[in-house]
Amino acid sequence: MNEALFTGKADLYKKFRPSYPKELMDYLYSALGFTEKSVIADIGAGTGIFTRLLLERGSQVYAVEPNEDMRESSKKDLAEYIKFVSFNTAAENTGLDDASIDFVTVAQAFHYFDRELFKQECRRILRPDGKVIIIWNNIDSDCAVTCKSSDIIERYRIHDKSGQQRSGNLYDYSDFYANAVYEYKTFRNDFYESRENFLGGNLSASYAPRKDSEPEQYHGFVKELNELFDEYSEHGILHIPQITRSYAGSMK
Check pLDDT > 80 for residue 14.
no
pTM equals 0.86
- Say how far apart CA 195 and CA 174 lie, in whole Å: 39
Q: What is the pLDDT of residues 78-92, one digit of tens each?
A: 999 999 999 999 999
* Predicted local confidence at residue 163, as pLDDT: 46
Q: How many CB atoms lie within 10 A of CB 31?
A: 11
* Predicted local confidence at residue 143, as pLDDT: 83
162 confidence band (pLDDT: 50, 70, 90): very low
Question: Tell me, what amino acid is at 12?
Answer: L
User: Does residue 3 belong to any structural domain of this protein?
Assistant: no
User: Does residue 1 belong to any structural domain of this protein?
Assistant: no
16 confidence band (pLDDT: 50, 70, 90): low
User: Does residue 98 belong to any structural domain of this protein?
Assistant: yes
User: Does residue 4 belong to any structural domain of this protein?
Assistant: no
User: Does residue 79 belong to any structural domain of this protein?
Assistant: yes
- The residue segments making up the domain with residue 32 are 10-161+168-250
User: Does residue 236 belong to any structural domain of this protein?
Assistant: yes
Q: Could you tell me if residue 121 is left (phi over 0), alpha (psi between -120 and 50 degrees) or otherwise beta? A: alpha
Q: What is the pLDDT of residues 214-241, one digit of tens each?
A: 899 989 999 999 999 999 999 999 998 9
* Predicted local confidence at residue 166, as pLDDT: 45
Q: If you average pLDDT over every residue of the chain, what do you get?
A: 89
Average pLDDT on 176-195 reads 94
Q: How does DSSP assign 127-180, residue by residue?
A: EEEEEEEEEEEEE-TTSHHHHHHHHHHHHH-SS-STTS---S-TT--TTTSGGG
Q: What is the DSSP letter of 43?
A: E
Q: What is the pLDDT of residues 110-128, one digit of tens each?
A: 998 999 999 999 999 999 9
User: Does residue 5 belong to any structural domain of this protein?
Assistant: no
User: Does residue 208 belong to any structural domain of this protein?
Assistant: yes
Domain count for the chain = 1
* Predicted local confidence at residue 100, as pLDDT: 98
- For residue 106, what is the domain's CATH number? 3.40.50.150
Average pLDDT on 159-184 reads 75
Sign of CA dihedral 209, 214, 219, 220: negative
